[in-house]
Structure 1
Amino acid sequence: MISRVAEHCFWLARYLERAENTARVLEVNHTLLLDFHVPVEQQWRPLLIISGVHDYKDEATAENVQEFMTWDRDNPFSIASSLAWARENARIIREVISAEMWERLNFYHLWMQGDEGRALFDAHRSEFYAQVRRINQLLHGIADTTMSHGEAWEFFKLGTYLERTSQTARIMDVKYHTLLPRVEDVGSPIDNAHWVAILMSCSGYEPFHKKPRLMPSDPAAAVAEFLIFDEQFPRSVRRCLRECEAATAAVAGNPPGHAPTEPERRLATLLAYLDARMIPDVIRDGLHETLTHVVDSVHEIGEAIHATFFAADVRPPDSKAPTPIPAPAAMTQTQSQS
């Protein structure tokens, strides 16, 4: 597989996952604020921080933030922008993805650009965000059942789970860290509601409660343990990293005993960091510090993936200096949003 196709598969998956995560946190935050009083300055700005937007100039009101995170095409983390770039990556590699996947993605892109999507957003906000989540889930199901499970599929998986790792860690860190109640509020109904919101933002509410366990003495620690360490939940940090590790090994194709690639090495290092800890260690050392380390490491892994698989140099047969492969405009845009 040529690097251009691999990169578009990788970023197609990342943008789809990003759109779904943005829709989920917007919906959950909207619902949480209907039931609990939260100071105005802490209601919507955390959602901007989750997405890496630290220089938002307007007042962080409900309508301003939802408009910006849903429709602003200049915001690379908005739902409209993410779906548009997912569609652009898919368009370039139509020979790799299935016709069913392309048709459905193109249909929803047009739905977002037309009057129907905007009308649903204005009339029924929660249903709009639920529809965006269903878009992503449907597209992943179509990809799983219609794409050949070769290198293109492995790069698609790698993009999905790398983005998911970062989003889970960001949601846990920023959403709770900025909404941290007073010391006397720890363990109170609003404190527990914040942790329920985190679970819902990661689609973990039902899996968490269906998993057999003793009644936890500290619900916050139990939620953090589930979202970081659970081996079965498909959005936990550890499970996502395991999936990334398997996908990276598959695309590297190294024989047993061969030196690992740089992405494999960095993934193994991060997994070893988590495997050496249990939730009491994380709480003692600081949940914020642990999650910040995960986010920073995922960014480094993304850079290593780009350098290893997407940014190879072409060496001509003569002795001239190596000539880099020119990056298409769409690829340049995707790389800039990592």
Structure 2
Amino acid sequence: MKRTFVRILVLCFLISILATPSVAYHLGPPSVDNNENPTAIYGCTCHGLGGPLNGQPSDRAIVSVSGVPIQYDIDVTYNFTILVQDANTLAGETGNVAGGFLMSSGDIGIFSWDENEDIRASVGTPDEDSTERSTSYNISQSDVDDDGQWKIQWTAPSSDVGPVVFHVAGNSINDNDQADEGDYWNVLSFSINAPSTVSNADDIDSLVTRTVSVGTYQNLFVAEITDEQIEHERQVALSSDIFLKGNIYYWTSLVMLILGAVVQREIMERKRGERPPYMASELAYPQMIRFSIIAIVLFYFGVTLKADASSTVLWATSFFCSLWASYGVYRTWLAMNTEPTPDDLM
């Protein structure tokens, strides 16, 4: 009983380790980081150079919001477009394409979005479990976006509350299911003035909307990439590809070897007329129940993770462990039905 409990703890620990990067990518960043600082202000410190505990921002990540008014009018809705881009990609070179974001307005006004946008109320807010497509709290991506672009609406408050300050944390990722140095993030802050704060009769169009961005002048407007940077990116992409394929081949081979050994043992036992050592029903039934519960729980986890488009490694591990627990039920049943020897009865 004690050994079974230890095995369950070890299995849960391994699954939690595998789950960490997957949750981070697909559910969107939490509202606060590991140090309880607001993520929208302090950034995605799980990613980038120094991650996963102290990742640093990078000017290579270009974060911009377009459609931002100079000042808001009461109860008026504005259309924003959020862009998170890699400077290398903007320059036409090899770089990250996918991305994620977290946006805060200090809980002022209402964020809303269309059903075709992968957006949600961010993790850690009161609305995080809501299925509504609007919230007054922080918002983030609900899944990794392939082009790093999201369209949202922000409805101004119903009274003059003074200037509204926005914070956006954007993360341009290499989408390898790891929070590593191949991800680049940055933070953007801007404000929208209160009604009637600014007036310019000569150029009324200047009061309509604008685009705000963060990044160095070089990355925003020049974005020239040297040969050394190109070679570095090629080497990084090559090493990531080799690492990914190596893991796939290794774990696939290991699983096939385990399954082959199990099948070979079953075949040899049948040829020799052998069975597992006898186990009394008083011991066998509780063990089969434990194995059955473990198999069902792991199968449920596997189905849930697969439906949530989590990492392949994660849901495949859950299914494999569920199958292994089911095999334990079968072997225990065989042991219970084995003919006992005189030594077993003594």
TM value normalised by structure 2? 0.27
Q: Return the structure number with greater strand share.
A: 2
Q: Which has the higher contact order (CA 8 A, sep 6+)?
A: 1
- Bigger radius of gyration, 1 or 2? 2
TM value normalised by structure 1? 0.28
